[in-house]
């Protein structure tokens, strides 16, 4: 494995008395899809917020592209090539799809004309071609998820953090978007995805980190991680691995 593009080392972040993320480490490399899974409240989104600069960790550091970027503000990290989507979609509701994506495209293109054509190209690539002139608040859930993806992609990132882009989609919509994500990875982008849709994680991710109560409790290939007794217990409760029998437990 080549040097990782992103490595998070022993990061912690608490809110009041609660340690949302506790000494967590993970890494991601170009051309690879890395998944971050874990039960609700495990600290996955908090970890994303730390990597993308929205939260400052109380301990640990974030290394990206050979530099220590811990605590840098989000806009500067975006310029370095880190883009994120939001779990709860955050469209510019009053603007058209085209103008939403345009804001992202302007990061690399100062001139309006260049940014407009870049935004349109990204919109088509993500499958929003015939919705470009719709207002963002008139989109379906699936289209809003695509808009989040298109906007992030328009910043031409090297590292893409996807926070549950498949949540709320039906199986056929998931089947539509999975190849799009795979194509982005093949293009050389390092992708880290938070995902609950295990079928998609199994088919997309090469490496999985499992977070529970703020700590990374397991990592490895999807098959190995889902067979891990600690992971099963984190999801289903203490003793569950034993009850499921020898087939899954180590």
List residues binding other proteins (CB under 8 A): 52, 54, 73-76, 78-79, 83-84, 86, 90-95, 99, 102-104, 106-107, 110-112, 115, 151-152, 154-155
- Quote the DSSP letter at residue 135: B
CB-nearer residue toward other proteins: 107 or 204: 107
Find out whether 98 and 123 touch, Cβ atoms under 8 Å: yes
Minimum Å distance from CB 185 to other proteins?
20
Minimum Å distance from CB 119 to other proteins?
10
**C-beta pairs of 73-79 under 8 Å, 24+ apart in sequence:** 77/52, 77/53, 78/107, 78/155, 78/157, 79/107
Cα–Cα dist 25/29, whole Å = 14
CB-nearer residue toward other proteins: 64 or 86: 86
Minimum Å distance from CB 136 to other proteins?
9
* Site of tokens 């080392």: 9
Minimum Å distance from CB 241 to other proteins?
38
Find out whether 33 and 185 touch, Cβ atoms under 8 Å: yes
CB-nearer residue toward other proteins: 62 or 115: 115
Q: 61: which 2 tokens?
A: 């550091």
CB-nearer residue toward other proteins: 105 or 216: 105
Minimum Å distance from CB 212 to other proteins?
26
CB-nearer residue toward other proteins: 65 or 233: 65
């Amino acid at each position: 494995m080549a040097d990782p593009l992103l490595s998070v080392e022993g990061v912690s972040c608490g809110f009041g008395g609660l340690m949302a993320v506790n000494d967590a480490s993970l890494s991601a490399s170009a051309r690879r899809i890395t998944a971050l899974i874990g039960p609700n409240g495990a600290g996955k989104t908090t970890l994303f917020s730390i990597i993308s600069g929205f939260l400052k960790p109380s301990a640990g550091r974030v290394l990206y592209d050979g530099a220590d970027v811990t605590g840098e503000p989000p806009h500067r990290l975006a310029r370095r090539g880190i883009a994120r989507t939001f779990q709860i979609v955050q469209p510019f509701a009053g603007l058209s799809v085209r103008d939403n994506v345009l804001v992202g495209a302007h990061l690399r293109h100062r001139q309006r004309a260049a940014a407009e054509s870049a935004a349109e190209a990204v919109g088509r690539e993500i499958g929003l071609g015939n919705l470009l002139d719709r207002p963002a608040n008139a989109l379906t859930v699936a289209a809003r998820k695509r808009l989040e993806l298109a906007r992030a992609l328009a910043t031409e990132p090297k590292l893409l953090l996807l926070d549950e882009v498949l949540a709320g989609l039906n199986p056929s919509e998931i089947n539509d978007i999975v190849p799009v994500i795979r194509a982005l990875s093949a293009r050389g982008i390092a992708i880290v995805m938070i995902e609950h849709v295990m079928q998609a994680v199994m088919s997309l991710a090469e490496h999985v980190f499992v977070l529970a109560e703020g700590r990374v409790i397991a990592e490895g290939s999807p098959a190995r991680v889902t067979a891990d007794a600690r992971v099963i217990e984190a999801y289903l409760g203490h003793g569950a691995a034993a009850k499921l029998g020898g087939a899954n437990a180590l």
